[in-house]
Chain A
Amino acid sequence: KNQVEQSPQSLIILEGKNCTLQCNYTVSPFSNLRWYKQDTGRGPVSLTIMTFSENTKSNGRYTATLDADTKQSSLHITASQLSDSASYICVVSARMNYGGSQGNLIFGKGTKLSVKP
């Protein structure tokens, strides 16, 4: 069964600190993995997208890693800011055998990050 598990479920850190969020998946065949940031009451905003051959990708203070062998990904946030408080969602896309589809997107439940002053 295709699943995406994220940990921790929630996390509280102090402003300026770093943190790492984890994502494990059992999706096959794998197409790509995305990290989204979702502010409360808003739609998700893409942070990174990685394909099978990519090990790391950065977007400002966000750095995502992917280990396709162990089916693990992480999102590292450097020098956290109050505005980083949000839910971070890991989404894995399974390669479909037919076109015209978004592919089969499997969503994790997200990690709720709270950055405190």
Chain B
Amino acid sequence: GAVVSQHPSWVICKSGTSVKIECRSLDFQATTMFWYRQFPKQSLMLMATSNEGSKATYEQGVEKDKFLINHASLTLSTLTVTSAHPEDSSFYICSARRTGRGTEAFFGQGTRLTVV
């Protein structure tokens, strides 16, 4: 149990286009999901906290208009990188916390984004 699936696993897009990444909790409901970015040889950095049915909370320095987050259901959150630039190339990881089950969170397998 407690499987979190991200799609796609990797994506290459042209500079200026938008890319959507999906995060699904397959066998549990997740009121809260989290989006991270990880650069090579660096630790995960929290970008935003996504709450079902409400606006996401962004960490300092993360542009909310560039990284659009939608959490329309208890099992799905999406991250859209708008007007992507090469510096947005990174490994994006989501995690989901079971509704009402403490702070344990489960990570997706990550999405490698390359902007050319």
CA–CA, A110 and B42, complex, Å: 8
| Selected contact of B43 from candidates A42, A43, A108, CB within 8 Å | A108
Contact in complex: A109, B43 (CB < 8 Å): yes
Interface-side segment among B14-22, B69-77, B78-86, B100-108: B100-108
Q: Tell me the smallest distance from the CB of A2 to a CB of chain B, in Å.
A: 13
Total interface residues on B, CB under 8 Å, equals 25
Closest to A109 in B: B43
Which chain A positions have C-beta within 8 A of B108?
A: 43
Q: Contacts A43-B108, A109-B43 known; A102 to B91 CB distance under 8 Å?
A: no
Interface-side segment among A16-24, A44-52, A55-63, A67-75: A44-52
Which chain B positions have C-beta within 8 A of A117?
A: none
Contact in complex: B107, A43 (CB < 8 Å): yes
Q: Tell me the smallest distance from the CB of A89 to a CB of chain B, in Å.
A: 7
Please classify how large the interface on chain A is, using the bins under 10, 10 to 19, 20 to 34, 35 or more: 20 to 34
The answer, yes or no, to whether B25 is at the interface (CB within 8 Å) is no
The answer, yes or no, to whether B44 is at the interface (CB within 8 Å) is yes
Which chain B positions have C-beta within 8 A of A42?
A: 109-110
The answer, yes or no, to whether B7 is at the interface (CB within 8 Å) is no
Q: Contacts A89-B43, A109-B43, A110-B43 known; A43 to B103 CB distance under 8 Å?
A: no
Contact in complex: A102, B34 (CB < 8 Å): yes
Contact in complex: A43, B110 (CB < 8 Å): yes
Q: Which B residues have a C-beta under 8 Å from some C-beta of A?
A: 4, 6, 32, 34, 41-46, 49, 51, 91, 93, 95, 97, 103-110, 112
A-B complex: 5 closest residue pairs judged by Cβ atoms = A43-B107, A107-B43, A43-B110, A109-B43, A43-B109
